[in-house]
């Protein structure tokens, strides 16, 4: 009986959140048609959607599986590069690959194929990397995944891979979010979609992650997070579950990387630093480890705060001192909140 009630509650909650999400989409669509497209609002929405996806994918690992991975920037880098490499128009390649005679790849894929490929390649690398890394325990895993992100960055910048990756130079001129706008023959924009589409992509991907989390697989992951030994005793295969979770998370990080490329309109390995991973970790922690909604909301808030609301402080270089206490508070709150009764004591040496 009580079970039934609980289920009903979840159902109504699902409906309510679905309605809210739908409203947001409608609002975004309407806003886009009537507010000047140059408004910072859309920047925040586009980048926020991208970060939300990446944050949720990180949460899948850190929050739901208990794997503390710091390799997110590396997988985003792979995603962004795969997207860039396969979508730069052939005619522009001679300009983009200016030091490599136009590069090796001389065809283009449609954006959605390239985007899916971004995810797949990132997942493939995650599979390779997972073999040595996932055997490691918490903090070793963190530092090893961080190391992998650094290695990937160096490999992508290697001059000898230049014909494919353009070395350390920028990839650009590929389709960006603005190309989603529907234009009339004279180039005049008829319907603005440049904000709605990224929101939709992120929404669909996050939806898939939510479904995963609520499936048997997701419950197995949570069991691993709460107690590996008990989970194993219940018949959950640790290695394969962890690896799959790692690959899935990286897939979406790769897609997120492709979205970031579209948002930025240029891609360069130089930008995908550890600091980017930390930023996403901050978002996850502020939103609450193990909370999808939290990750989404906090990523929009984080992007809005750092790119928009606090930019006026730039001139006095206040962004550091003002932003940080704000973030730190969220930090501490969440960190302290995690000491719930369900958490097993893991500090003992």
**What is the rounded distance in angstroms from the CA atom of residue 105 to the CA atom of residue 165?**
10
Residue 342, helix vs strand vs coil: coil
Complex with other proteins: residue 185 or 336, whichever CB lies closer = 336
In the complex, least distance from residue 313 CB atom to other proteins, rounded to whole angstroms: 10
**What is the rounded distance in angstroms from the CA atom of residue 73 to the CA atom of residue 148?**
10
Tell which phi-psi region holds residue 198, choosing left (phi > 0), alpha (psi between -120 and 50) or beta: alpha
Complex with other proteins: residue 116 or 285, whichever CB lies closer = 285
In the complex, least distance from residue 45 CB atom to other proteins, rounded to whole angstroms: 12
Q: CA distances (Å), 234 to each of 93, 220, 230, 241, 308, in order?
A: 54, 10, 6, 13, 49
Residue 171, helix vs strand vs coil: strand
Complex with other proteins: residue 151 or 211, whichever CB lies closer = 151
Complex with other proteins: residue 116 or 172, whichever CB lies closer = 172
Q: Which residues pair with 43 in a beta bridge?
A: none
Q: What is residue 180's DSSP assignment?
A: G
In the complex, least distance from residue 141 CB atom to other proteins, rounded to whole angstroms: 9
In the complex, least distance from residue 28 CB atom to other proteins, rounded to whole angstroms: 17
In the complex, least distance from residue 170 CB atom to other proteins, rounded to whole angstroms: 6
Complex with other proteins: residue 112 or 309, whichever CB lies closer = 309
Radius of gyration of the chain (CA): 21
Q: What is residue 88's DSSP assignment?
A: S
Residue 11, helix vs strand vs coil: helix
In the complex, least distance from residue 133 CB atom to other proteins, rounded to whole angstroms: 7
Complex with other proteins: residue 168 or 291, whichever CB lies closer = 168
């Amino acid at each position: 009986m009580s079970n039934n009630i609980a289920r009903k509650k979840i159902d109504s909650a699902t409906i309510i959140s679905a309605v809210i999400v739908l409203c947001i989409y409608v609002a975004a669509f309407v806003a886009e048609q009537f507010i000047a497209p140059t408004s910072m609002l859309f920047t925040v929405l586009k980048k926020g959607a991208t970060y939300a996806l990446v944050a949720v994918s990180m949460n899948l690992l850190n929050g739901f599986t208990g794997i503390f991975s710091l390799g997110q920037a590396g997988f985003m880098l792979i995603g962004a590069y795969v997207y860039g490499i396969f979508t730069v128009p052939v005619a522009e390649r001679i300009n983009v690959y200016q030091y490599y005679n136009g590069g090796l790849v001389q065809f283009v894929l449609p954006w959605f194929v390239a985007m899916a490929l971004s995810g797949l390649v990132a997942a493939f690398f995650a599979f390779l990397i997972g073999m040595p890394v996932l055997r490691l325990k918490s903090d070793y895993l963190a530092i090893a995944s961080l190391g992998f992100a650094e290695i990937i960055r160096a490999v992508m910048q290697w001059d000898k891979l230049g014909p494919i990756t353009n070395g350390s130079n920028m990839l650009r001129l590929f389709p960006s979010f603005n190309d989603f706008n529907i234009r009339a023959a004279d180039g005049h924009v008829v319907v603005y979609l440049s904000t709605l589409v990224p929101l939709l992509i992120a929404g669909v991907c996050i939806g898939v992650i939510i479904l995963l989390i609520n499936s048997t697989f997701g419950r197995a992951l949570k069991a691993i997070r709460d107690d590996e030994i008990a989970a194993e005793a219940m018949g959950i295969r640790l290695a394969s579950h962890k690896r799959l979770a790692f690959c899935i998370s990286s897939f979406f990080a790769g897609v997120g990387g492709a979205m970031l490329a579209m948002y930025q309109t240029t891609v360069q390995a130089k930008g995908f630093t550890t600091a980017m991973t930390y930023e996403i970790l901050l978002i996850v922690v502020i939103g609450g480890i193990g909370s999808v909604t939290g990750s989404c909301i906090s990523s929009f808030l984080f992007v809005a705060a750092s790119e928009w609301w606090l930019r006026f402080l730039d001139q006095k270089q206040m962004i550091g001192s003002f932003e940080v206490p704000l973030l730190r508070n969220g930090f501490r709150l969440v960190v302290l909140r995690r000491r719930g009764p369900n958490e097993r004591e893991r500090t003992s040496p």
